[in-house]
Structure 1
């Protein structure tokens, strides 16, 4: 879904080229935006009524939902006139899917189903699998000023 940022950037570049009078470059950038938009829209799962990531090795849509699946909405990539895409927003109204607090990037209903199936996965960095461990190297932490004390079991970097 991060390709949605490429879409937004290409659209912005097209506008900038228009402003300086380079219509050919503006058209090229609109073409890039159109190709990226078309590729992202192929990640719409019509059965689940949400965007999903695609496994690059198998080409299949990955069944888990996460907040990144909503980036196409925030970048203006989703066709505003097509009501089918609004269906994806229904999950934000369900606290079992995306609770307001604490904030999760992974859909919590999917996470619970995976754990029940014996595949809980992990949502932390491999370097931060134990409480109290840092997600970054001591050298990086030493060079990063701390604004406040981090919560127990977390790093401020």
Structure 2
């Protein structure tokens, strides 16, 4: 079992948003979380969302650029996806305020378990484009459920 499979096996609750590491150190088997992970975690808790780090003692890695590095999020069920996308949008809006959305980049990865398979949504781009791109992303999962 690889590290990701091991972490997924820990994510048992379908109504919980799990924060996964952005990187694994294969030499030490250490999980590294983005610097915005703790801020996002606190924000989600303030919004009364059920969220937890998949590892109990997260090591934070600082990525020195102006981008927002959201944590890797894992969802055991697709029904959480619209909730999470809305939460992310609100978090980003609150974080950047009235700054130019075309100049602020975000990095994001969401892993969603859908019909026993893990699907991955990756985004690296402007906040403005994020809002447009993820507006209808839930349709991708609903189309698969119709199959």
The question of a shared fold, defined as TM-score above 0.5 by the shorter chain, is answered with no
Higher strand share: 2
Query: What's the TM-score once normalised by structure 1's chain length?
Result: 0.24
Say which structure is richer in helix.
1
TM-score where L is the length of structure 2: 0.25
Structure with more contact order per residue of length (Cα contacts < 8 Å, sep ≥ 6)? 2
Larger Rg: 1
